[in-house]
Structure 1
Amino acid sequence: MASPAPTPRPGDQLASATDTTRVIVIRAPQQAAGPIECGGTPMVPAAEAPAPSPADDAPGTLIGKRYVDAADTLELLCTASGSGHLAYAGEPLTIKAPKALPASD
Structure 2
Amino acid sequence: MIKNGTRLASQVCDTQVIIVRSAESLDDLRCGGAAMVGIGAPRSGELDPAFADGTVMGKRYTDDTGAEVLVTKPGAGTLSIGPTPLQLKEVKPLPASD
TM-score range, shorter chain: 0.7 to 0.9
Q: Percent identity?
A: 39
**Cα distance in 1 between the residues matched to 2:14 and 2:93:** 31
Correspondence list, 1:19-38, <5 A = 19-29=13-23, 31-32=24-25, 34-38=27-31
**What do the CA deviations read for 1:37-81 (whole angstroms, capped 9, x no partner)?**
001101011132439x9xxxx860111111111x25111110111
Q: Does 2:62 align with 1:68?
A: yes
**Cα distance in 1 between the residues matched to 2:94 and 2:3:** 29
Partner of 1:4: none
Partner of 1:79: 72
TM-score w.r.t. the length of structure 2 is 0.80
Which is richer in helix? Answer: 2
Unmatched runs of 5 consecutive residues or more in structure 2: 47-51
Aligned length: 92
Q: Secondary structure at the match of 1:62?
A: coil
Q: Secondary structure at the match of 1:32?
A: helix
2:95 to 86, 91, 102: 102
Q: What amino acid sits opposite 1:84 in the alignment? A: G
**Cα distance in 2 between the residues matched to 1:34 and 1:20:** 20
Q: Secondary structure at the match of 1:48?
A: coil
**Cα distance in 2 between the residues matched to 1:15 and 1:49:** 10
Unmatched runs of 5 consecutive residues or more in structure 1: 1-6
**Cα distance in 2 between the residues matched to 1:88 and 1:64:** 19
